[in-house]
Structure formats: C-alpha cells, structure tokens
Amino acid sequence: MPIKHKRILLKLSGEALMGDTAYGIDRGTLQAMVADIAEIHALGVEVAVVIGGGNIFRGMALGAAGMDRATGDYMGMLATVMNSLALQDALKNVGIPARAQSALKIEQVLEPYIRPKALRYLEEGKVVIFAAGTGNPFFTTDTAAALRGAEIGAEIVLKATKVDGIYTADPKKDPNATRYSSISFDEAISKNLAVMDATAFALCRDQKLPIRVFSIVKPGALKRIVLGEDEGTLVHI
C-alpha cells in the first residue's frame, strides 16, 4: 500500500509517556511508542516529534498554585527537554538515528533549533525531536507542534492521545458520547474542544495543515494513518 503522508509532525503528550504510573516515564510505554515510530520510519516516512512535559511539570497548574505563570511555563519547557532526551536515547537504542533540538539555548544538553538543520536531518532519514516548545511562555506544546509542523512543511500533524479521536463529550463520563470521524477547524474552535488549544487549531487552519487526533495506545494506529486508512478524527479546513 502506498504511503499517504511522507513527512509528519507527531505530537506526543508527556502524560502519554506515563503509562499507568503516577508520574515520570514508563519504560514499557516509551518502548511501545518507539516501536510505532520505528514501524513508519522503516517505510521511509520522515518523522518529526514535539513532546509535552506534563508528566513532570505543568506550567499552568503551577501558575494556579500561586507561582508566576511564566516561571511555571519555563519549568514545563525544561520538562519537555528531559522527555526529548529520553525519546532520543530510546530511538538510538533500537538503531534509529535521532536528533533533538531545543528552542531554549542549552547547548551542553541539546543543539539549538535551526530550521535548515532540522530539514536536512529529516531528508537524511533522522527522526527530529523539537524540545522546549516554542521557547516562549504562554504557548503550549500543541502550538509548538503546529508551528514546527508548518516550518518543516509537514503534510499533517498527528496528535497522539490516550483516546481514539475527538468526541462530542468526555467518553469516560458520558457513555453516549460519539466520535467525530472528521470536523472542521472552525467547528472545533467554536465548540471549544479541549483536545488541542485554540491557538494551535487556528495556526493549522491558517496554514491549511490538517490535524489527525488518534490513540497512541492503539496497536498499529500510527502506521494505518500514514498509509491513509481511517483512524481517529481528522480536523481540516
């Protein structure tokens, strides 16, 4: 079957790395994610990744607890750096070349984000991991995924969650909730669907960059998406 999406931006939440643990990174969950990435990498798909830090710190939560919001967000960016290092190491351990770049200047840990370098790495077949969000407080890693996806010319942003798409209501609370097979950006924004923030939706809409929301814990889901099969929820113009 031919590949539908040659270059993708995969958005992983930090919480997805937790598995069933209370915090941090679950080794088995990380290895399963790496196996999914390895599967599409072997098909020749160019993969870039933006990963959140919510399994370690949440800037907004820290702000709500009385800490300055900008300070909390910078702490969250450092959490994404830790997750990016873990993912880069796990990919290299299975023989997949990976490069992590940081929006914050921490050269002793990660090289800085430089767009031409990132594009060259992708063309060379390396998985590129974008750490530290946009490098600015008040912007989520969802927005970073939309921004980096547009910058590298990704064909689609794949938002990996623990739920297999966007629902009319929280399926854990409402048994009658139904899943959208597709939804427009305008409808997703007007309905205030919380699966991604409105800034990310608006940026992808303006750049005509579709988003597909899917379950990272569903076996084979990532591969089915890049092959063009129906999976999760497509957010489109």
pLDDT digits (tens, 9 = 90+) for 58-87: 655 555 567 888 988 999 999 999 999 999
52 is a domain residue? yes
192: left (phi over 0), alpha (psi -120 to 50) or beta: left
CATH number for the domain including 201?
Answer: 3.40.1160.10
The answer to whether position 2 is within a domain reads: no
Residue 169: its pLDDT value, please?
Answer: 86
Check the annotation: does 167 bind a ligand: yes
Output the pLDDT for position 79: 93
Average pLDDT in the chain: 92
Q: Is 19 annotated as a binding residue?
A: no
Range of the domain at 98: 7-236
pLDDT confidence bin for 22, thresholds 50/70/90: confident
Check whether 190 is labelled as a binding-site residue.
Answer: no
- 180 lies in a domain? yes
Q: Please indicate if the annotation marks 181 as binding a ligand.
A: no
Q: Is 214 annotated as a binding residue?
A: no
Residue 147 assigned ligand-binding role = no
pLDDT at 211: 97
Instruction: Judge whether 134 is annotated as a binding position.
Output: yes
Whether 148 has a binding-site annotation, put simply, is no
Which whole number is the average pLDDT over 25-53?
95
130 is in an annotated binding site: no
Element (H, E) at 140: none
The answer to whether residue 1 sits within a structural domain is no
The single residue listed with the structure tokens 């076996």 is 219
The burial of 211, by beta-carbon neighbours within 10 Å (0-12 exposed, 13-18 middle, 19 or more buried), is given as buried
Tally of structural domains, the chain: 1
Answer whether residue 31 is part of any domain: yes
Q: Is 141 annotated as a binding residue?
A: yes
- Find the helix packing angle between 198-206 and 141-151, rounded to 10°: 10
pLDDT in the model for residue 1: 65
Share of the chain above pLDDT 90, in %: 75
Say how far residue 223 (Cα) sits from the centre of its chain: 16
12 has binding-site annotation: yes
Is 136 within any annotated ligand binding site? yes
Whether 68 maps to a domain, the answer reads: yes
Residue 183 lies in a domain: yes
User: Would you say 168 is a known binding-site residue?
Assistant: no
210 falls within a domain: yes
